[in-house]
Amino acid sequence: MSAAFPTVGSFLFDYLHKKGVTHVFGIPGDFALPTFRWLQQSPLKIITMTHEPSVGFAADGYARVSGLGVACVTYCVGGLNMLNSVACAYAEKSPLLVISGGPSPVDRKKDVLMHHKVRTFDTQRRIYEEVTCATAVLLDPALAAAEIMRVVDAVLEHSRPGYIEVPFDVVDMPIAHIPPAVNPPAPVSDPDNLHAMLEDAVAAINHAKQPVIIADIELHRHGLVEQALAVAAKFNIPVASTLMSKSIISETHPLFIGVYSGPLSDAAVQKYVEDSDCLIMLGALITDVWFAFMNTSEKLSRKRTMLATTEKMQIGARTYEQVVLREFLERLYEMPVRPRTLGELPLPAPEPKPLGESEKQAEISMESFFRILGLHAGENSLITCDTGDSLFGAMKLRTKKATHFLADAYYLSMGFAVPAAIGASAARPEDRVITIVGDGAFQMTGIELSTAAKFGMNPIVFVLNNDGYGTQRFILDGPFNEILRWNYTKMTELLGAGVSRKVTNNGEMEAAIREAIASDKMYLIEVILPRDGCSPSLKRVGEELGRLRDKDKRTH
């Protein structure tokens, strides 16, 4: 095929490569095999995984680090199997492109009962409309290039997943016309509304005694962290993050005061944020996780808040239509805001104290696990956390660099952390990925360590073994929370790669993490925890959700 007439497949992957993609995560299937052949011939590397939900989580993890992730699967049995992880990416605004193989245009016209088909040939695309910002089915090669560019550009603009379905024969067809690449015009604010919001913002901040910025996840997704930090530094305004945005700014930044999550926060951080008379929420997705599922949102009165996101601009009860977040931040930096003279600020989680000799023989608690991890995680440690205590226990774990903490801290799907570690390892091979996952979540996607072994990756995976679904026990306990206790340390023997360790006390835990960090091998470290042991944060979350979910505890 001449350079003047590339195929649909070659154009697709060359275009993604130009957008900065280096790896594609996927599982082949007959409708997608021709697409995989073009992927193999492209500059991109294929990471073939074991199960489609993991494909989506891995591509999501890659996207959170690199800016655009790609998952490639087959029609329906692959695409629909991956739906949950794509939904996670949509909920948390992660730029993930789904490429699915599909039946040919001729098959669709015949309307035959073809394998993998569900109801109609368009069923999968219509389902994906619920979890994507743009979709396309490439039935006409003459339109394929324009459609590919449209969907990819929408994914990057909105930082949400997109969907492209490629019929198995169309992928081999030449594209006779490629429209010129045009950068989509940057959105522009309504000048009057922008001016009004800036005036009100300056008045609110200058009038306030204790303004605080909450830097949330949209700042990272849309490349606006530096603009937000510039505003904070110029006007000397303290900054907190949320669980979802943990580490999008360096947790060693002099204005950083810690992670805010309502009653789960450090007491000083919670008080400082909730006492603020001007809470500036930048790029915020205000979820129930913000408030630890507790009815404490009223502590952040609308009268005292400023919300600036890609979808909504509001100060107090006033809203401002068609104001662009980037423009607002850039112009706010230039406004006559009075710099603050700060008093004593809450301190982020301090460096943990080394273990005393008497502590080394004590059984591992959730607090001591994270304390030991904090002592030994290095400058280049990139942490992926699963839901449950893997996440809530990590609130005070202080990362050394920005964007070195990945978790699905709003959607809260179990099974995220191990495949996300695959994506993070591909995106940042220079970093050492540390994964924290409960035994229940590990049984869902832990087999992806096979993928890590296959591609020479060396994550350090901590399996927190408390014998079942520990999070659920505090909400509503029953035999449904029990799982089969695996011999997790046999996993590396099964795979023929990596090293396993089982640790039961603090001293063994410290020795294992030192050994793992010093090695370039993949490690699985099974951490034996008390069956009913958990962090204080998780216990509070479980008890609160129990009052909502359990009819015997429910309050009205």
DSSP-derived pairing of the beta strands 305-308 and 313-315: antiparallel
Distance, CA of 471 to CA of 477 (rounded, Å): 9
> Which residues is 165 bridged to in the sheet?
100, 137
Full residue range of the structural domain in which residue 29 is found: 8-172
**Where a domain ends, among 303, 334, 365?**
334
Here the CATH number for the domain that contains residue 107 is 3.40.50.970
Among 349, 409, 338, which residue's Cα sits nearest to residue 375?
A: 349
Query: Is the residue at 183 inside a domain?
Result: no
Query: Is the residue at 185 inside a domain?
Result: no
SS3 376: helix
| Other C-beta atoms lying within 10 Å of the C-beta of residue 188 | 10
SS3 209: coil
Work out the percent of the chain whose per-residue pLDDT is above 70: 96
pLDDT at 461: 98
Per-residue pLDDT of 277-302, as tens digits, reads: 999 999 998 887 776 665 655 667 77
Task: Give this prediction's pTM.
Answer: 0.94
Residue 481 and residue 414 in contact, taking contact as beta carbons nearer than 8 Å: no
pLDDT at 347: 81
Residue 218 and residue 395 in contact, taking contact as beta carbons nearer than 8 Å: no
82 lies in the same domain as 133:
yes
380 lies in the same domain as 492:
yes
Query: Is the residue at 371 inside a domain?
Result: yes
Instruction: Report CA-CA distances (Å) from 218 to 95, 232, 249, 409, 411.
Output: 12, 16, 12, 14, 15
Query: Is the residue at 468 inside a domain?
Result: yes
198 lies in the same domain as 167:
no
Cα pseudo-dihedral 157, 159, 165, 166, rounded to 10: 60
Among 431, 429, 430, 465, which residue's Cα sits nearest to residue 446?
A: 465
- Is residue 394 predicted with pLDDT exceeding 60? yes
- Is residue 206 predicted with pLDDT exceeding 50? yes
Here the CATH number for the domain that contains residue 222 is 3.40.50.1220
150 lies in the same domain as 282:
no
Distance, CA of 382 to CA of 64 (rounded, Å): 12
| Other C-beta atoms lying within 10 Å of the C-beta of residue 150 | 17
pLDDT band at 324 (very low <50, low <70, confident <90, very high): very high
- Is residue 547 predicted with pLDDT exceeding 80? no
Structure tokens, 36:
């995989």
- Is residue 543 predicted with pLDDT exceeding 80? no
- Is residue 2 predicted with pLDDT exceeding 50? no
Among 238, 277, 228, which residue's Cα sits nearest to residue 260?
A: 238
pLDDT at 552: 74
Distance, CA of 416 to CA of 79 (rounded, Å): 17
- Is residue 167 predicted with pLDDT exceeding 50? yes
493 lies in the same domain as 397:
yes
167 lies in the same domain as 301:
no
- Is residue 554 predicted with pLDDT exceeding 90? no
Average of pLDDT values for 359-370?
94
Query: Is the residue at 178 inside a domain?
Result: no
State phi, psi for 272 to the nearest 5 degrees: -65, -45
304 lies in the same domain as 411:
no
Sign of the torsion angle spanned by Cα atoms 222, 226, 231, 235? positive
162 lies in the same domain as 243:
no
Give the mean pLDDT of the chain: 92
- Is residue 1 predicted with pLDDT exceeding 50? no
Total domain count for the chain? 3
| Other C-beta atoms lying within 10 Å of the C-beta of residue 202 | 15
User: b/e for 292-305, b at 16 or more Cβ within 10 A?
Assistant: bbbeeeeebeeebb
369 lies in the same domain as 492:
yes
149 lies in the same domain as 199:
no
Per-residue pLDDT of 209-257, as tens digits, reads: 999 999 999 999 999 999 999 999 999 999 999 989 999 988 889 999 9
398 lies in the same domain as 536:
yes
164 lies in the same domain as 197:
no
The least confident of 21-35, 158-172, 473-487, 503-517 is 473-487
Query: Is the residue at 182 inside a domain?
Result: no
Query: Is the residue at 103 inside a domain?
Result: yes
